[in-house]
Amino acid sequence: MPVLGLGTWRMGENARRKPEELDALKYGLDLGYPLIDTAEMYGDGGAEEIVGDALAGRSTRPFIVSKVYPHNASRAGTIAACERSLKRMRLERIDLYLLHWRSGARIEETFEAFHKLKSAGKIGDFGVSNFDLDDMQDAAELDRGLNGTNQVLYCLSRRGPEFDLLPWMRKRSIPLMAYSPLDQGGLLRKASLKKLADDVGCTPAQLALAWLLAQPGVVTIPKSSSRERVKENFAALQVKLTPKVLADLDRAFPPPRTKQPLEML
């Protein structure tokens, strides 16, 4: 799975913004972004439709991640939801299909449906999202082959997963997919991040993304509807962080010392 992708959360919610959102996705693909993350929840399927439009006519396509709502995640419901997502994106296969969050879903039924979809070639692999350590342990008991990903809120200003969740996942070679890597823009207002970015010679957004990309076993999916920001984020791949810069970031944004509840946005 690629380590950097395009997020689509909150796309497809307003028809007037669709041209801008579609343009940003197309531009990102032209730049070479190798992954798009979406979900049936985003814009009630609207984001998946935009993804389909962005992919139309391309000879190659990126790695596609989508998600099923918990209230759709029964055996039959998961399969039906996947079929709807495939239709909206005009695809024959979703590369990685996730349970969006646990809620009231009976994950044994969800996993059974995931296996059926995988056997049928409708998905390449499956995983989860917004699962804390206890949820992941439950999931691993039900399916020891679970190693697709766990997508959670993780960034410099929200480092809770590092205490126990991320180490547990690394031991099992399960990638962590970090959503909201810029903390909904809140990180970009941090004076300490701006100063360190100036020292490195990059933007605050690039530094925050480069920090995530430097973490073993971590994938990140910044979302933007702006060509300028899509290009800026992509350049984070070229930012090299020295041990000193990493230590400075730890001082400015300390790692957790105790267990913290998993955060969701």
| Residue 22, token pair as written in the block | 């579609």
What Cα–Cα distance (Å) separates residue 57 from each residue in 20, 23, 50, 73, 124? 19, 14, 13, 32, 22
Active-site residue numbers?
Answer: 42
Sheet with 176-179: strands ordered across: 6-7, 35-37, 63-68, 94-99, 123-129, 150-153, 176-179, 218-220
Angle in degrees, CA 197, 198, 203, rounded to 5: 50
Neighbours of 253 (CB within 10 A): 19
With a CB cutoff of 8 Å and minimum separation 6, the contacts of 127 are 96, 97, 98, 99, 146, 147, 148, 149, 150, 151, 174
With a CB cutoff of 8 Å and minimum separation 6, the contacts of 50 are 8, 11, 12, 18, 21, 22, 25, 43
Instruction: Please give the backbone phi and psi of residue 254, each rounded to the nearest 5 degrees, phi first.
Output: -65, 140
DSSP 67: E
| Residue 127, token pair as written in the block | 């995983």
